Structure formats: C-alpha cells, structure tokens
Amino acid sequence: MSTRPVNPVTGLDFTPAVGDMPFTPLQREWLAKAHALGRDKFAARAAQWDQEASFPFANYDDLREQGFLKLCVPTEFGGAGADFPTYMMVAAEIGRFCGATALTWNMHICSTMWTGVLADGIAMSDEQRAEHAARRQIHFARIVNEGKLYAQPFSEGTAAAAGRAPFGTTARQVVRDGQRGWLINGKKIWASLSGAADYYGVLCTEDKGDQHPDARDTLYISVPATAEGFSISGEWDPLGMRGTVSRNLTFKDVFVSDDEQLMPRGIYFKGAQTWPAMFNTLAPTYLGLANAVYDFTVQYLRGEVPGEPPIKRRQFPTKQITVAQMRLQLESMKSLFTRAIFEAKPNPSKDEKLRLYAAHYAVMEGANDLARLGIRTCGGQSMLKHLPLERLYRDSRCGALMLPWTAELILDRMGRETLYEPGEKDD
Amino acid sequence: MSTRPVNPVTGLDFTPAVGDMPFTPLQREWLAKAHALGRDKFAARAAQWDQEASFPFANYDDLREQGFLKLCVPTEFGGAGADFPTYMMVAAEIGRFCGATALTWNMHICSTMWTGVLADGIAMSDEQRAEHAARRQIHFARIVNEGKLYAQPFSEGTAAAAGRAPFGTTARQVVRDGQRGWLINGKKIWASLSGAADYYGVLCTEDKGDQHPDARDTLYISVPATAEGFSISGEWDPLGMRGTVSRNLTFKDVFVSDDEQLMPRGIYFKGAQTWPAMFNTLAPTYLGLANAVYDFTVQYLRGEVPGEPPIKRRQFPTKQITVAQMRLQLESMKSLFTRAIFEAKPNPSKDEKLRLYAAHYAVMEGANDLARLGIRTCGGQSMLKHLPLERLYRDSRCGALMLPWTAELILDRMGRETLYEPGEKDD
Amino acid sequence: MSTRPVNPVTGLDFTPAVGDMPFTPLQREWLAKAHALGRDKFAARAAQWDQEASFPFANYDDLREQGFLKLCVPTEFGGAGADFPTYMMVAAEIGRFCGATALTWNMHICSTMWTGVLADGIAMSDEQRAEHAARRQIHFARIVNEGKLYAQPFSEGTAAAAGRAPFGTTARQVVRDGQRGWLINGKKIWASLSGAADYYGVLCTEDKGDQHPDARDTLYISVPATAEGFSISGEWDPLGMRGTVSRNLTFKDVFVSDDEQLMPRGIYFKGAQTWPAMFNTLAPTYLGLANAVYDFTVQYLRGEVPGEPPIKRRQFPTKQITVAQMRLQLESMKSLFTRAIFEAKPNPSKDEKLRLYAAHYAVMEGANDLARLGIRTCGGQSMLKHLPLERLYRDSRCGALMLPWTAELILDRMGRETLYEPGEKDD
Amino acid sequence: MSTRPVNPVTGLDFTPAVGDMPFTPLQREWLAKAHALGRDKFAARAAQWDQEASFPFANYDDLREQGFLKLCVPTEFGGAGADFPTYMMVAAEIGRFCGATALTWNMHICSTMWTGVLADGIAMSDEQRAEHAARRQIHFARIVNEGKLYAQPFSEGTAAAAGRAPFGTTARQVVRDGQRGWLINGKKIWASLSGAADYYGVLCTEDKGDQHPDARDTLYISVPATAEGFSISGEWDPLGMRGTVSRNLTFKDVFVSDDEQLMPRGIYFKGAQTWPAMFNTLAPTYLGLANAVYDFTVQYLRGEVPGEPPIKRRQFPTKQITVAQMRLQLESMKSLFTRAIFEAKPNPSKDEKLRLYAAHYAVMEGANDLARLGIRTCGGQSMLKHLPLERLYRDSRCGALMLPWTAELILDRMGRETLYEPGEKDD
C-alpha cells in the first residue's frame, strides 16, 4: 500500500509515465491498476522473460484477470471502452515495468481498436457497416467472454511493412464444404505472440487470380492458432524485447470462414491512410521504458535501490548534469507524446501529422538515448543482470527499428512532407 | 487578405507558433491579430531596428492602437483579460516576426500580469489585498486610458537576477513634503525599453537602515521616466535582439510616492517562489523565432521567398533530412512549451516544475539550434542582410543567456532538483 | 616579450592552434612570427574590419613586410618555400587572431601553391612544363619583388563552385595588336579581396566557339585589377567574415596576354581531381577561430581578460563541464586537421580522402559549435561588441557554407563514397 | 589469401583500425599478423565467448603460438620489443575482431609494459634499478619461455581504482621459512582473466602496521594462480565484454616471495603520476570495435555479408547520411587516438595531457555512438544473434564505464584541468 500523498491534480499517488495532468476517472482507474500491476508483479518477472526469451504468460494471466484484454472493447460489447489516448497512457505505464508485455499487449489491443473505435470513424457503406457490426461481435465476445488473445502479424521482410507494397501473404475466396471463406497462404516474420496468441489477425492481399496484387485489396483476417496449415517456426534469440517471442508464421492453404474477416474488404487500407496515429501505438512501450530508465537512475544515485548498498552518488556535479539532460529529454518525449495522443484523429492536419511523426521519433530514439546515459552515469554495476538497466538498454534499441515507422523512415517522410505539399513534384 | 482555408480545429487560416490546437475565442482573436500585425507590419520593419539598434516605436504604435498593451489587464479594469497561456501563445506569434518587439512587450505585459492574474493567486492579508486593489487601479488606468508603456528592469550584474541574492537597488521609506513615499537608489543594467518606457517597474530591496538586506523585503515600485534623479546611460551595440535597447538605468535619490508600489511589500518575493512559470515569459519570443527560422527555410528551399529567384532546392536529400531534423526539434519545443503554459499555476508539482524548466531550456537552446541549421541548409545567401536568417541567427543566441533562467542555471536546477527532494542534504 | 617557458618539444613559448608537436625549424619560425603578429597587431584591429566591413589593409602591410605573401613561393623563386602542412598550420595561427585576414590570405597563398608545389606534383608534358616554368616566374616575381596580392575568385552562383559544372566565365583565344591572348567574359560572386587584390586569378572555361563548355577546359588566368572591362560591384554587408569584402566581379571583353595563364590549359582540372586537399585550405581559418573561442572562454572564466573586472567564474561545475566539452571537440578538430594536412598528397587512398572530408567537416561545424558554447558559458557580456566572442560567433557560421566543400556536400560525398567504390552503380 | 592490392604507403593490403599511415616494419608485421588472426580465427569465435561468458582460451592458444604474449617484452629478454604506439595499434586490430580478447590481452601486456618500457623511463635509484632488473628477468622468462599469462586486477569497488585512495588490498612484509616475502590480504572485483591467468599482478598497499595506508606505498606484486589462500568467486553475467570473465579474487594470507614484486616499492605510484597514457591502454579495444561496427555496416548495406541475402540497401539517402556520420566520428576517433599514442610520454605537456583525455573519451563514447547508429541503419536483422552487431552494441557500452578514466571522470578532469593550472585554488 502506497503511503505517498495523492496529487490533487492527477488523483494519483504516483506520477504516471505521461507526467502529471488532469485525468478522467477512467484514465485514473486504469493508470492506477496498470501502475500497481507493473510495480508489484511485472517488474520482478521481467528478467525471467528476458533471460529465457519466453512469453510472459504469468503477466497475461494478471492482465486477463484484471480486464486489460478488453480495455478498448467498446462498452456495448462488454469492454471498458477506453479511447485512444487512454489506451496510450495506460500502455506507457505497462511499458514502464515490462517492455515485452507492453509490446505484445499492444498487438492484441490494436486488434480491438482497429475493429472498434477506428472502424467507427472510417466511412463505410451501410452494407459494410452491418457486416462489420455482426463480425466484430463474434471477435469481441471471444475476448470479453473467453479471454482470448489476438496477435497482429505484420512484417514479411519486404517493403509491405513500410507501407510501400501490398502484403505478400494472400487470401483467396473459396467455398469449402458449402461454407464461404478464405484460403490463406504466405509467411509472416517478426510475429510477436507466436505460440501465445489464440488468434492471429493477419494482414494479407486478396488473390483475385490473374490480377496484380493491390494494397487497396488488403484484408484483415483472423486465423485461429489451431487452424490446419498454420505453423510456427524459427529461432528467437534477439538483443532485446525478448519476451515478445517474435518468430515466423507460415500459412499453407489455411482455410477460415468468412466471419473471420476482422474488417470489411478495403477498410484496413482506408484506415491506414486515414488514421496515421495507429502506427504510433508502438511508442508507449518505449516511453514507459524511458521512464523506467530515469526512475532507476535517480533511485540508484540516491542510494535507494532495494538490495543494493545505500551509497549516495547524487552529489557529483557530472552525475547531476547527466540526470538533468536525461530529464530534459524525457520531458520532451512526454510532452510530444501526450500532445500527439490527444490530437490523434482521422485525417489530421499537416501540422498534426508532422507532430505525430516527431512524437514517434522522439520517443523511439529518446528511449535509447536515456538508456545509454543511464548506464554511463550509474556505472559498472548497471552492466550486471541483477539490475534492470542493462536489459532496458538492450530493449531500448529496438523501437527505432520497428516498421512501418522506423527512425529512418520518419526522417524520410518528414523531410519530404515538410517540403512538398501532397501531390507536388519536381520536374 | 489570406486565401488559405480556415482549419476547422483552430478556426484560423494559419498554423500559429504553438501549432494547431483548439483555441478559445479570445485566443483565436488575438492570435489572428498578432499574426496579421506581425506578418503585414513587423516583419518588414525588423531589419531596421536591428541595423540601428533602435526601439521599435512604430510597432508599439500599432500594438497600442490594437489594444495589445492592455491584453493582460483584467476586464474589470478595461483590459482584454487574457490569462497566462493566452498571453504566451500570442507572444510567440509576435516573436515570429520581431524578436525585439516580443521581448520588450513581454516586460510591459509582465508588469500587468504580476499585478493582475498573479497577484490574485497569491495569498495576501485583507489589508494588503485592499491596498493592492487601490494601487493597481492607478497603474492599469495609465495603460488602458493613456496607453502608457512599462519596463521591468531586473539585472544588476550580481547574483540577484539569478535569484540568489537581494537586489542591490534600494528603496528607503521617507516622507517628503508631507507625502509618504520611497527614495530609490541604485543601478540596473540590461534594462530593455530604456528611453522608450513611460514607467520603469523597479525591483529593489527595502533599505531598513542598519539591517542586512533581505530578498524577502523585495519591493516592486514604478518609477516614471520623468522622475528627477533617474537617468539612462551606456552604449547598446550587442550581437542580437538589438531593438530592445537595453541600456543602464541609474536611480539617484529618486523619490516616488507610495502609490507607485506595484505590489504590496513582500508579495513579489512570495510570488516569485510561488509562480515559477513567470520566468518562462521570456521563452515565447524564442519559440516564435524558431518558427520564423523554420518558415523561412521551407520557403527558401521551395523557391518561394518574395524577391528571390524561384530556385527550388528542396529536392536534395541532405536538405530534406536537415529540414526533418529542424521540424523534429521545433515540434519538441512547441509541445513542451504548450504543455508548460497550460499547466502553469501557483505551487506546481515537482513533475510540473521540472517540465517547466525543460520547456524553457528546450526553447532557448532549440531556437539557436534551428537558426544555425537554417543557415547551413539555405547556404551563402542566407548570410546576407537582405534575408532575415542572419538576424534570426544572431537573435537566437540571446535567449539561453537571459537571467534568471539561463541554460546553465536550468541544468544546475534540474540536476539538483531531480536528485534531491526539497530540504534534503548530504552530510 | 613573452615570459612563458619554451616547450622543449615544440621549441615555442605558446601552444599553436594545431597543438604541441615537434616542428621543423621552418614551421617553428613561421608559427612564431604568425602568432606574434596576430597577438600583437591583428587581434586588436579585428573589430574594425568587422564593423566597417572593410579590407584589413593594415594587416596586409604587416604580412607583406614580414614576408608572408611569399611564404609558399618556392625558394628558387625567392620565396620561403613552405610546403602544404607548414602553410596550413601557419594559416591556423593567423586565423586565431583575424578570420578575415586568414581567409583572404588563403586566396593569395593558393595562387602560389597551385602554381608552385601543386603544379610540381601534377603530370605535364615537357612542353607544358616549360611553358609553366616561364609563366610562373613572372607571377612569382610580382609577389616576391613587388609585393603584389592575388585574389582567386571562384563562385558564380551555379553548380560550378561545387565542382559539378563548368565555370560560366569564359575565355576566348584571340590575337590583339599582334599579341596572343584571351578575351574574358563573365561574372564572379563572393569574390574575396574585391578592390584589394592586384591580380584576380580567374577560373574560367575556354570558349571554343560552337562547342559545349567542358570542365576539362578550365583555364586559370590572372587579370590585373587595372584591366579594361573589369569592374567590381555589389554591396557587402554579411553576417560574418566581413573583412573579406567579397563583392561581385564583372569581366566584359577583358583582354589579357597569354602570359597571364597561371597554369597550362587543362592542368587546373587535373589538379583539382588529383589534389583534393587543396579544397581544405579554407579550414585553417576556422581551426584558428575555434582556438580563439576556446582561449577567450578560458581567459574569461578565469577572470583574466584585460580591461574586464577580474571576476572568476571557473568554479561552477556547469561551466567546467562546458569547457571540457569545448576542449574535447577542439582536440578532435586539431587531431583530424593535423593528420589530414600531413597526409595530404596527390591521389590519396580512399581512407585518406574520407579522412580529409571528415577533417574539413569537423573543423567547419566544430568552430560554430564552440562559438555558441563559448557565448553560452561566458554569458551576457559576451554578446557585446567590446569582447571578441560575438564576432567569432558570427564568423564561425560561415565556414560550413563555403564551396566546394560545404558541410552538406561533404555529407553527400562521404555517404556516397563510403558505400560505393569508384565507378560502382546500382541498376 | 588476400587478393586486395598492397597500399604503397602502409605496405598492407588492408586499412588497419588506426587508418592508413606509414608504418615501421615491426608495426607492419604485427598489424598484418593481428589482422589475419582476427579475421580468420577470432571473428568466428566471438559469438561463443559472448554466449557462454567464457574465456577465449582458443584465441590465447593462437596468441601464444604467434608470439603475441611477448609483444612488449624487451628484445634483450627475448620479446618482440614493441613500443607503446605499436602495441596500441596492434591492440586496436585485435579489438576489431574480438573485444574480450583485446581487453584481457591488454591486462597481460600492461604487466609487461609497466615492468618494461615504462619502468625504463621512470627515475629509480641504482639499487632499485638493479633489483628491478633481476626480478623482471624472472617475470619475462615465464612469459617468453613458458607462455604464461598475467592478469592485472585493479578495481576494489572503492575510490582506489579512480586513483583517489590507496588500494585496500594490503601486503605485509614477512619472513616465512627463512624466505623474505609478503603476506597479501584483500579482495579485487571486476578481475578480468579470472581463472585463466597464471599470475595475478596485484596492486596493493603496504601494510606497515599502525600507520595509515598511503597510495605512495602501492606495491605491484605477482600472485601465482596456484597460491594458497587465493580464490576466485562470484557470478559473471554482464551486458557485454562477457569473455573477459571478470570475477572476484580473494587473497587470504597469501604468501609470495620477494621476487614476485613486479616493480620496486613506490615505483608504481610514481609511474602512474608520470605516465598518464598507460590508462589509455583500454581504448584500442574500443577503437577496434568501432571499426568493426563500421565495417559491418558498410558490408551489410552493400549486400555483401557472407550468408546473408545479397540485398543492397546503400541507395537510400538516409542510410548514406548515417554512414557518413559514422565515418565522420570514426575518423575523429582514429585521429585523436593516433596522435595521442604517438605523443605518449612521461610527463606530457598540459596540451598533450588534455588531448590524451580527449582521445580516451572520444573512443569510449564514440564506439557506443557508432554501434547504436549501426543497428539503426542496418535495421531489424542486426538485432539477431547470427550477426555481430548486437554483440558489438552491448560490448560498446562498457568502455565509458571503465576505471580510472570513465567518461564522467574525464569530463571532471578536463573541466578542472582546463580552468585551473596545477596547484591553483579559489578562496
């Protein structure tokens, strides 16, 4: 039980990863739950998933039990009905204690946000709307009633994940045993939640026979882990974020029924164009991580890390200035992130879109900046595995590499989009 | 007349220096006025004040006429009643077109905010409250009815401006010709608005005779430009922000009546402790400046600067990436600044206070970062005085040097305050 | 007379801009002369050239008198016979005290190095060699015997200065009054030494009538300041390096005799391909400048600037760390520069060429980094014109913009040349 | 067998880690041997030591066989007689292929340099000189004739390793069984080569009974791995440089004979004051590592990594510019390092000493800068363990933490030593 005073502005007895600000009751409730869960359960377990490169099943039992799997399922379907900014700040709080849990949970949540709040904001025909309403009910019911977990495999090792080509995984419409459905073929790599998810929400391109594949025909289809023809392969021994267990998925003539379409045909493509903020959902993990690095560094220099000798190192000016630099950068990350999540919307203005890119870049690169400074100022002990800093350092490097918004692709986009209006070209 | 479309979120046909966001009607009105005034009048005049190191009197005629001098005077005293964040974003808009005007206008506005919104939020005895109510009426009436301009001289070349010592300028209580008043003695340096202000709101320490000067006895007293014993001296030929005309003020047995006290005795000191955001009012000028650098750079690389050959340079990847970096940093500055101005309040939480420092630092150093990158990517032409970039480069270096929150002092404060709770000491 | 001890390694009683190292007697002699001249004469005059944007004639009287104009003229022609590295380190010493003098002197020296040591290292036919021997005698004699000053105008506002197109200034072979010679037409911009040089060594393209201009036909021809058809125009009011007086030159049917060819036809082009280090000769000015910034900062923080109050500011940890950062960067600049000048040669290896670029970039950007840090840590006083720092800050921004090796073009070249071997292309 | 052409300047068919430059025959020979050994043997084994955190015994068999253990043993004792700069550049070449091997080999080599070239340059009495001559003969013979390996444990977790306190490990002079010798007690941590060395050259303080320990009484004594009372303990599971096996050593009444003194009493202390460059011997490992990162990145972007698909990624401007930045920094590191090793000497000038610090800092921090950029630009694949980049990224963070010259302590030293002359104090 915390004995820290409650801040009257936030209603919380801790400063959340996004910083103090006024929160809605829903935000306050979930931030408090996430913080407690992370601090009391996830933090201590994080070393294990990292060491074994194993999936954090124990964390997911807690998440399921406390309702986190249905956080973004609309209330009319039995969920908590959290909106985009609420999810993002809660995710940052989870990321503060276990990066692999936050990253994988994000995949699951995205499968509920795409089908939920996002779909609500994308134009559909009445027919599409009706179709979607019926299908997502099935999907949400699995999560709400059965606690099922969804993955969202994306990368294929081609330009598709960067949004520059259609996905190579295909779905062909078939009728089997009188049932209309899809035959899925292809391969996904870096598929987080491999072997842990109950369903894999696969992005694929409709195979229309002789035609050329077209990104506008992207389908978003759920494949049960038990489906015939579905298999998982490959080693998983990476630098960081090892608990995501991001192995390869192979789909060989996998049949699924029509009801497994998570969004009507063409709607995912429209959504990705319309809702760029969706690709920012990888960022909260790293904002949380940056907070973890900062929190640990302050605690360590103050001689207050449990189990460590109570040696104060805070009195050295070089360390004070390093911590000041870390805090400067952390505040930049927090403010960009917070502004971006609150202004996230369909069809943002150019100013808002560029800020969204900036927020993503600042968080992804900033988490790594902080981690390396944290190790440098805490010194040799922090390279050892009984303290969390070396893991955070390894995990921190992963964010800037994640498609579709790698640090380099954001620089490209920002360079081009600042200097060219849409449609402009040079001769 | 602008033909650009109005953004439905902002209600404006331009993106203000703080970026797109929903504004109140009052904010929208003043942002639009400031932007139009800056763009149509101030921008073209800026080179002149810079060249001559002369005060922007013409700009002040416009500001006075359009009501900007009373922007922060409470409505009950005939002002526009703008609050802190509204002022800060309007100031950034002015700073976008003329740094010297924004910096000097800030001095005037502060003299109305200290006595207005700030004073309202500081605890006073009933007697003090009554005294202050009577006196500020005189003060506000001069501004509202007569368009008078107030300076706020601060620096003395000692540790006082950094907040670490009492001011050396003194005020001794006297009775002269039956009138109670103060005899002021001392010297101020870097006094912006020298020779332009009608009143100089001087921070000074009460001279109680044999006692030691004490910062808690700081008085804030208005000295008319015409007062006997008051004089202005010294050269003014600096690197940048040359239109501020920040010369030396000497007070030699200057007598002013009791009514010239702008705040009751002791209240300024309390206010400075309580309202740290007040020292952030130097920042909007530099946020505006950073926008100006960015705006010009984009315009120049697109070949759209009026009067320049329409040569496009935007197609070079190195320039695209430089502009991306500039935008990244600008967005960080905008988000930190915006968050800080909206959460400004008496007695902020530790998290809010550290963010305030971070916002100040990020803006002051960031403006300079952008200016040097802007020159580098625009190339040789931008070193010449017919284009604004070289002036912006010179102006941009001044912000980080301004007391009490120089870049170095912020690093010091942040280093200490992150690692030590108030009152903590090492043995 | 210095009372500082002589360092046994350097044989000098000061640390030169390149740092302590063993010097040859010739290097030691000229470093000592340059340092004394700069310290005792140039430093005090620098403010004047800057303020007036006037040419440092007084400095040139000293340079001429002390033999600096003939430093790189081979000894067999009466010069001091300094080689490339010797010149570069002496130039850095001059740049330490007056940037505009160093930059313009470089133009003059280059006209003796191109025709001297460089030409000796470039393959020529016997006929060309003989022709060149005869002509450079005339040229060197003017310098050695008459103290004439040569400019080397380069830029034309096109891609030529970046080395990507032939020069637009043309020379057509003609016979006039029985004398073979050249008719020169065109325009040069940013021409340092405008109005101060006795001869302008113009880079131009041979006009062969109907053929297309070809960079391989670049000629290097000397035009006397008194030639008919030659004129100087344009304003000169830039941010920094104001004493270079870099105005526009117009050549309208300017006739010069064949003997004014400073190098045989085609040799300049070959030289530029062969001797990339020649373009590094703009760097020593800025290495000197960086030293000046550092020297002043240390002196100021120690309270030892003549004429200033002896206030020590060195005890603040933030200032100590800033000075440490400045020194770190200065040492990087010095070591890269020194290594590059000693390994300068025709046809350097890929490793050496990339290092040369790196040295140039590091010095040009580094000078600006140091200048802005110097101002930040010295504080407000350093913005005023009675101290040299604000001028150094302005001057420091110019180096990275200077063609053909701007900071951006070096990034381009290094990016390409690290990843592609000569001749390699992607499909 | 290499088919690359031999560079006429270097006499080598590869560019060594310090860059192209003229080498002595000895340097050339050992650089070539080190490069071949590293490239053909060490590179492939590096993953194993890292994964197992095991000592690279196989590499040491090769080093021993090829004479690397006696590289710095003077020729009169049967060694190769390499001087300081030669060792440093060869060490960088080893570090290019296996960081853990380079770091541990450095410990061994230091035990031969302290007793060899360094001792030769430190003033001793005739008696001390004679004593030292006799003892080092024993010591060198073990290495030359028996291939013995020496460790050099240093850290104790106190201020001693930073040079600010005497070592806590003590040696008391005793006579045992008629033999004069020392009784050693204490504990060393971070002791590289734990369990692999044949001898541990321990720095300890003479225990003179009731007196206070004094750093001037530092002894440097060799303890055989087989000595009674010597034991190794502790886990070893760090972030990087895992093959160093740096566990804890405990000395409990360990008796060694007088002949195990590696330097006469008091000489180590004098040497450490006199020869600051000795502490720079940790740097070549990281310069090598930085080269490895750069080499791999270029190879990967060119699609030339053996075993990987030949996909070219070099054509993207963002990647080109990143590689340019990496090369810029690598060249800075190489030039600083090279200059520092060649000017290393007893009692360097202030300029040389500050440059030495700068070189150390630049290499240690730069290696990490490069590693993180390398991963960012190579992308997701480079996080996996079948490629070396993620290991290099982990290893790269260790250098800045290594005592006595951590990155922070160098900033402290440089800040102080730039602004204060020896002995200067403020009141």
Q: What pLDDT was estimated at residue D210?
A: 72
Q: What pLDDT was estimated at residue D372?
A: 98
Using an 8 Å Cβ cutoff, are B370 and B382 in contact? Answer: no
β-strand partners of C251: C186, C230
As a whole-number percent, the residues of chain C with pLDDT over 70 amount to: 99
| CA A333 vs CA A99, B337, B351: distances in Å | 17, 13, 14
Structure tokens at B285: 């000028």
For chain A, say whether C321 makes contact (Cβ under 8 Å): yes
E strand or H helix at B207, and its extent?
A: none
β-strand partners of C182: C173, C256
Q: What pLDDT was estimated at residue A154?
A: 87
Residues within 8 A of D (CB atoms), A 182-201 only: 190
Residue C140 CB contacts under 8 Å (≥ 6 apart), including other chains: C70, C73, C74, C77, C78, C79, C112, C115, C116
CA distance A324 to chain C (A): 11
Q: Give CA–CA dist C410/C413, Å, rounded.
A: 5
pTM, two decimals, is 0.97
- Residues in chain B within 8 Å Cβ distance of C103: none
CA distance A389 to chain B (A): 18
**pLDDT, tens digit, 9 for 90 and up, residues B162-181:** 777 889 999 999 999 999 99
**C17 to chain D: closest CA residue:** D351
User: Which candidate, A70, A121, A391, A341, places its Cα nearest to that of A238?
Assistant: A391
Which band of pLDDT confidence, cut at 50, 70 and 90, is reported for residue A205?
very high
Instruction: Tell me whether residues B408 and C319 touch, CB distance under 8 A.
Output: yes
Q: What is the rounded average pLDDT of the residues B18-44?
A: 98
**A325 to chain B: closest CA residue:** B411
Q: Give CA–CA dist B190/B156, Å, rounded.
A: 8
**pLDDT, tens digit, 9 for 90 and up, residues C335-359:** 999 999 999 999 999 999 999 999 9
Q: Give CA–CA dist D231/D187, Å, rounded.
A: 10
Torsion from C-alpha of D48, D53, D58, D61, nearest 10 degrees: 160
Q: Which of D190, D376, D398 sits opposite A401 (nearest CB)?
A: D376
Three-class secondary structure of residue B208 per DSSP: coil
Q: What pLDDT was estimated at residue D2?
A: 53
| CA B202 vs CA B121, B184, B271: distances in Å | 21, 9, 15
Using an 8 Å Cβ cutoff, are A313 and A300 in contact? Answer: yes
Strands C179-191 and C247-257: antiparallel
Structure tokens at B115: 């006595």
**pLDDT, tens digit, 9 for 90 and up, residues C203-250:** 999 998 877 888 889 999 999 999 999 999 999 999 999 999 999 999
Q: Which of C380, C394, C400 sits opposite B401 (nearest CB)?
A: C380
- Residues in chain A within 8 Å Cβ distance of D409: 318
For chain D, say whether C415 makes contact (Cβ under 8 Å): yes
Q: How many CA atoms lie within 13 Å of B116's alpha carbon, on the beta-carbon side?
A: 27
Instruction: Tell me whether residues B9 and A349 touch, CB distance under 8 A.
Output: yes
Report the alpha-carbon angle B40-B44-B48, nearest 5: 145
CA distance C317 to chain B (A): 9
**C317 to chain B: closest CA residue:** B412
CA distance C346 to chain D (A): 13
For chain A, say whether B7 makes contact (Cβ under 8 Å): yes
Q: Give CA–CA dist B76/A165, Å, rounded.
A: 62
- Residues in chain B within 8 Å Cβ distance of A295: none
Instruction: Tell me whether residues B419 and A302 touch, CB distance under 8 A.
Output: yes
For chain C, say whether A321 makes contact (Cβ under 8 Å): yes
Quick one: how far is CA D17 from the chain centroid?
15
Strands D199-206 and D150-151: parallel
Q: Give CA–CA dist C301/B307, Å, rounded.
A: 45
- Residues in chain D within 8 Å Cβ distance of C370: none
Instruction: Tell me whether residues D332 and C327 touch, CB distance under 8 A.
Output: no
**pLDDT, tens digit, 9 for 90 and up, residues D75-110:** 999 999 999 999 999 999 999 999 999 999 999 999
For chain B, say whether D317 makes contact (Cβ under 8 Å): yes
Q: What pLDDT was estimated at residue C60?
A: 98
DSSP 8-state symbol, D198: S
**pLDDT, tens digit, 9 for 90 and up, residues D137-192:** 999 999 999 999 999 998 998 777 777 788 999 999 999 999 999 999 999 999 99
For chain D, say whether C19 makes contact (Cβ under 8 Å): yes
Report the alpha-carbon angle D242-D247-D250, nearest 5: 170
Average pLDDT along chain C: 95
Q: What is the rounded average pLDDT of the residues D213-225?
A: 93
Q: How many CA atoms lie within 13 Å of B195's alpha carbon, on the beta-carbon side?
A: 17
Using an 8 Å Cβ cutoff, are A279 and A404 in contact? Answer: yes
Report the alpha-carbon angle C326-C330-C331, nearest 5: 120
**pLDDT, tens digit, 9 for 90 and up, residues C87-107:** 999 999 999 999 999 999 999
Identify the residue whose tokens are 């050695």: C144
Q: Which of A319, A383, A401 sits opposite D380 (nearest CB)?
A: A401
For chain C, say whether D128 makes contact (Cβ under 8 Å): no
- pLDDT surpasses 50 at C311: yes
Query: Chains with ≥3 Cβ pairs under 8 A against D?
Result: A, B, C
User: Which candidate, A134, A150, A138, places its Cα nearest to that of A69?
Assistant: A150
As a whole-number percent, the residues of chain D with pLDDT over 90 amount to: 91
For chain C, say whether A324 makes contact (Cβ under 8 Å): no
Q: Give CA–CA dist A415/A405, Å, rounded.
A: 14
Q: Is A33 exposed, middle or buried (0-12, 13-18, 19+ CB in 10 A)?
A: middle
Q: What is the rounded average pLDDT of the residues C47-69?
A: 98
Q: What pLDDT was estimated at residue A252?
A: 98
For chain A, say whether C317 makes contact (Cβ under 8 Å): yes
E strand or H helix at A278, and its extent?
A: none
Q: What pLDDT was estimated at residue D162?
A: 74
As a whole-number percent, the residues of chain B with pLDDT over 90 amount to: 91
Instruction: Tell me whether residues B414 and A323 touch, CB distance under 8 A.
Output: yes
Gap between the terminal Cα atoms of chain D: 66
**B317 to chain D: closest CA residue:** D317
As a whole-number percent, the residues of chain B with pLDDT over 70 amount to: 99
Q: What is the rounded average pLDDT of the residues C159-174?
A: 86
Which band of pLDDT confidence, cut at 50, 70 and 90, is reported for residue D266?
confident
Q: What is the rounded average pLDDT of the residues A326-351?
A: 97
E strand or H helix at A271, and its extent?
A: helix A267-274
DSSP code per residue over D23-90 = --HHHHHHHHHHHHHIIIIIHHHHHHHHHHT---HHHHHHHHHTTGGGTTS-GGGTS----HHHHHHH
B-D CB pairs within 8 A amount to 10
DSSP code per residue over B127-186 = HHHHHHHHHHHHHHHHHHHH---EE-----SSTTTTTSS--S-EEEEEEETTEEEEEEEE
Cβ atoms within 10 Å of A57's Cβ, excluding its own: 10
Using an 8 Å Cβ cutoff, are C335 and D335 in contact? Answer: yes
User: Which candidate, B79, B199, B57, places its Cα nearest to that of B137?
Assistant: B79
- Give phi and psi for D180, each to the nearest 5: -75, 140
Q: What is the rounded average pLDDT of the residues D278-291?
A: 97
B-C CB pairs within 8 A amount to 94
Q: What is the rounded average pLDDT of the residues B254-279?
A: 93
E strand or H helix at C232, and its extent?
A: strand C230-233
Instruction: Tell me whether residues D298 and C419 touch, CB distance under 8 A.
Output: yes
Of A59-68, C149-158, D327-336, minimum mean pLDDT range: C149-158
User: Which candidate, B167, B130, B164, places its Cα nearest to that of B152?
Assistant: B167
- Residues in chain D within 8 Å Cβ distance of B324: none
Q: Which of D324, D338, D361 sits opposite C418 (nearest CB)?
A: D324
For chain C, say whether B89 makes contact (Cβ under 8 Å): no
Q: What pLDDT was estimated at residue A1?
A: 44
Q: Which of D190, D318, D397 sits opposite A412 (nearest CB)?
A: D318
Instruction: Tell me whether residues C408 and B319 touch, CB distance under 8 A.
Output: yes
Sign of CA dihedral D55, D58, D61, D62: negative
Q: What pLDDT was estimated at residue C2?
A: 53
Q: Which of A237, A384, A411 sits opposite D384 (nearest CB)?
A: A237
Q: How many CA atoms lie within 13 Å of A5's alpha carbon, on the beta-carbon side?
A: 5
B-interface mutation test, from C390, C392, C395, most B Cβ less than 10 A away? C390
Q: What is the rounded average pLDDT of the residues C184-203?
A: 97
- pLDDT surpasses 90 at D309: yes
Using an 8 Å Cβ cutoff, are D368 and D400 in contact? Answer: yes
Strands B150-151 and B199-206: parallel
- Residues in chain A within 8 Å Cβ distance of D318: 408-409, 411-412
**C321 to chain A: closest CA residue:** A318
Quick one: how far is CA D299 from the chain centroid?
27
Q: Give CA–CA dist B42/B37, Å, rounded.
A: 7
Which band of pLDDT confidence, cut at 50, 70 and 90, is reported for residue C290?
very high
Q: Give CA–CA dist B49/B57, Å, rounded.
A: 9
CA distance A409 to chain C (A): 17
Instruction: Tell me whether residues A238 and D372 touch, CB distance under 8 A.
Output: no
- pLDDT surpasses 80 at A163: no
Q: Which of B314, B338, B419 sits opposite A339 (nearest CB)?
A: B338
Residue A175 CB contacts under 8 Å (≥ 6 apart), including other chains: A181
> Could you give the ipTM of this predicted complex?
0.96
- pLDDT surpasses 50 at D134: yes
Q: Give CA–CA dist C128/C132, Å, rounded.
A: 6
- Residues in chain B within 8 Å Cβ distance of A302: 419
Q: What pLDDT was estimated at residue B2?
A: 53
Q: What pLDDT was estimated at residue D212?
A: 81
Length of chain C: 427
Q: What is the rounded average pLDDT of the residues A36-55?
A: 98
Q: Which of C312, C325, C411 sits opposite D426 (nearest CB)?
A: C312
Instruction: Tell me whether residues A332 and B9 touch, CB distance under 8 A.
Output: no
Residue A174 CB contacts under 8 Å (≥ 6 apart), including other chains: A180, A181, A182, A183, A255
Sign of CA dihedral A88, A89, A90, A95: positive
